[in-house]
Amino acid sequence: MYRTHTCGELRAAHIGQNVTLAGWVQTVRKFGSITFIDLRDRYGITQLLFGEELNKELAENPLGREFVLQAKGKVNERTSKNPQLATGDIEILVQSFTILNKAATPPFTIQDDTDGGDDLRMKYRYLDLRRQAVKKNLELRYAVNRAARNYLHENNFMDLETPFLIKSTPEGARDFVVPSRMNPGQFYALPQSPQTFKQLLMVSGYDRYYQIVKCFRDEDLRADRQPEFTQIDCEMSFVEQEDILAMFEGMVKYIFKAVKNIDYTATVERMTWENAMWQFGNDKPDIRFGMKILNLKSAFTVGGKLLATGELINGAGFGVFDNAETVLAISVPGCSEYTRKQTDELTDWVKRPQIGMQGLVYIKYNADGSLKSSVDKFYPEDKLRAIAEAAGAQKGDLLLLLAGREERTRKAMSELRLEMGKRLGLRKEDEFKLLWVLDFPLFEYAEDENRWVARHHPFTSPKPSDINVMIDNSPVIENAEKYLEHPYNHIKANAYDMVLNGNEIGGGSIRIYQRELQEKMFAALGMSPEEALHKFGFLLGAFEYGAPPHGGIAFGFDRLCAILGGSESIRDFIAFPKNNSGRDVMLDAPSTIDDKQLVELSIRLSVDNVGRENA
């Protein structure tokens, strides 16, 4: 028997017992004629004490870090206890040991505060995974997985697998493709999600489906994306939006309880997409704090009085405001005492290329009621006060204003709001706030192609009240400049996103389930009937055989884990992640393949030896 206990198991109650442990050597500390070794496994660390006798044996067989060791001995009470360690009351007085395997000196220390850089740790991921900090993340991942499964199982969902080798139907992201040897010149695609399969399962009558499943998207990797990632993918039949919202806020609350012991009893807030964009500047607002964005060019009600703030800010001779498409403000609580240095630094912050603004205007609404602003010259104090109050500022607040083109300014203000929230400590890691964002537009206008694209995906249904708008109107955009006026621009989707602390953790929709409407949708997206049949004939066909009303949702499993683990990076929660260029640096993948393999696959590379030196 290799071991009687794990390295995290022994306590004072075991004192006097003979035990056998096996694990990895964390540290070796020599003190004269005795040696202490910390032995580590998945469950913890136990201190081993090698007395004088064994020390001689140790001298002949020196132990290095990460050696795999088996030690037999007696559990002793420690003279100096270590309250930091679960096993800190005891140590093992070793009677005999066996080196089960040697280890080369690891390229970085296997500790929480390791000396290994990112790349090195990714290359030796199997060593990185030994570190407690990483292990904790994977344990959390497993706990979330188990909780989700328990909840879904309790609610009658069936875990059904769907294929990975499917048909390429790029819409949205790019597909990863796999050449078929048996069908020369033909390719499978890896699924971007099991979307159409889960809908087919509904047609087949499996009314509650789920899968914790890999999805593949060949996207340019923006920060913290992975080309393969995991979803908790779900679908239900005979449901309306409310049924889905109730079922899945239940699931997330269940996960909170199971994984973090949090009783999320509050009602999950809801917000329309329009309000999210309007008040927070993005479609996944962090509602742990306020600081809503205010449009100073539109009218506000202050104390029941309607104030046209546009009139307050326009025509003052301050060209930046006078000529701007929009002027947006946030009121930062309690920051009126910011120094010149601090406001200058914020100005530099908004001028960074990632934010891209020309400048920042501030109004300090001092505690004594006086006002100070970077545009004092143009606005007398009473006007500044009227602006500040219209914008909802209170004495002691700092009003930050950005002006420019609508879309860019709103985006910049959204970033600035998040940044100020962070600086003021309002985005607390241990506070969790869920939000449903509802009523998304069904379509988005793709300027470069002058056509509509589905904002969620082409299987999402319009709101029942908007179905006729879609059926009765042609999708053709006669005048690209006036696309905003096209009826399709006002159609709302029967879709919903779940947002947690400013991150989209899930998204889904009620689906189209009639062939005619689905055909109309494909046509709206610019697909010819032949193309629609070629790509999605199977689904259109299935809709003719009694498709039930259905809808679903998918949660970004990696992201959910990262947020629950208090991390910004999903990579930390994936056992074997890819780096930012989509490479697995441990495997050195992707890589070239043999000419023989290419021949078998009937593939000739268009550029010879592209990247072949990496082989």
Least gap, CB of 541 to ligand ASP (angstroms): 20
Name the residue nearer to ligand ASP (CB basis): 287 or 553: 553
Q: Is 577 in the site for ligand ASP (CB under 6 A)?
A: no
Q: What is the Cα–Cα distance from 402 to 326, expressed in whole angstroms?
A: 8
CB within 8 Å of 56: residues ≥ 6 apart: none
- List Cα–Cα distances, 507 to 229, 231, 444, 525, 550, in angstroms: 15, 11, 17, 21, 15
| C-alpha neighbours within 13 Å on the C-beta side of residue 12 | 7
Least gap, CB of 241 to ligand ASP (angstroms): 12
DSSP assignments along 13-62, one per residue: GGTT-EEEEEEEEEEEEEETTEEEEEEEETTEEEEEEE-HHHHHHHHHS-
DSSP 297: T
DSSP assignments along 165-196, one per residue: SB----BSBPPPEEE-SSSTT-EEE--S-SHH
Q: Is 509 in the site for ligand ASP (CB under 6 A)?
A: yes
The SS3 of residue 243 is helix
Least gap, CB of 509 to ligand ASP (angstroms): 5
Least gap, CB of 459 to ligand ASP (angstroms): 7
Q: 20, 87, 169, 195: which one contacts ligand ASP (CB under 6 A)?
A: 195
Q: Which among 517, 406, 399, 531 is positioned nearest to 468, based on CA atoms? A: 517
334: left (phi over 0), alpha (psi -120 to 50) or beta: left
Q: 46, 193, 237, 501: which one contacts ligand ASP (CB under 6 A)?
A: 193
Element containing residue 596 per DSSP (H, E) = helix 595-600
Name the residue nearer to ligand ASP (CB basis): 26 or 230: 230
Least gap, CB of 584 to ligand ASP (angstroms): 23
Q: Give the CA radius of gyration of the chain.
A: 30
Per-residue binding letters, 538-567, with ligand ASP (x by CB under 6 A) = --------------xxx-------------
Q: What is the Cα–Cα distance from 191 to 227, expressed in whole angstroms?
A: 11
Q: What is the Cα–Cα distance from 536 to 523, expressed in whole angstroms?
A: 12
Q: Which among 198, 188, 181 is positioned nearest to 164, based on CA atoms? A: 188
Least gap, CB of 171 to ligand ASP (angstroms): 11
* Residue 205 in tokens: 């009558």
Least gap, CB of 507 to ligand ASP (angstroms): 5
Name the residue nearer to ligand ASP (CB basis): 216 or 256: 216
Name the residue nearer to ligand ASP (CB basis): 69 or 495: 495
Least gap, CB of 553 to ligand ASP (angstroms): 5
Name the residue nearer to ligand ASP (CB basis): 554 or 574: 554
DSSP 460: B
Q: What is the Cα–Cα distance from 589 to 609, expressed in whole angstroms?
A: 16
Per-residue binding letters, 374-413, with ligand ASP (x by CB under 6 A) = ----------------------------------------
Name the residue nearer to ligand ASP (CB basis): 44 or 508: 508
Least gap, CB of 447 to ligand ASP (angstroms): 23
How many residues lie near ligand ASP (CB under 6 A)? 9
Q: What is the Cα–Cα distance from 228 to 193, expressed in whole angstroms?
A: 10
Per-residue binding letters, 347-376, with ligand ASP (x by CB under 6 A) = ------------------------------
- List Cα–Cα distances, 410 to 67, 298, 402, 482, 522, in angstroms: 56, 14, 9, 21, 32
Which ranges in 433-555 belong to alpha helices (H)?
467-472, 515-524, 529-542
Pairing relation of β-strands 451-454 and 434-438?
unpaired
What are the residues facing 77 on neighbouring strands? Answer: 90
Q: Which among 487, 391, 492 is positioned nearest to 437, based on CA atoms? A: 492
Per-residue binding letters, 479-508, with ligand ASP (x by CB under 6 A) = ----------------------------xx
Name the residue nearer to ligand ASP (CB basis): 36 or 164: 164
Name the residue nearer to ligand ASP (CB basis): 128 or 497: 497
Least gap, CB of 551 to ligand ASP (angstroms): 8
Q: Is 196 in the site for ligand ASP (CB under 6 A)?
A: no
Name the residue nearer to ligand ASP (CB basis): 66 or 497: 497
Name the residue nearer to ligand ASP (CB basis): 19 or 232: 232
Name the residue nearer to ligand ASP (CB basis): 162 or 195: 195
Per-residue binding letters, 422-451, with ligand ASP (x by CB under 6 A) = ------------------------------
Least gap, CB of 508 to ligand ASP (angstroms): 4
Name the residue nearer to ligand ASP (CB basis): 556 or 565: 556
Contact footprint for ligand ASP (CB under 6 A): 193, 195, 457, 507-509, 552-554
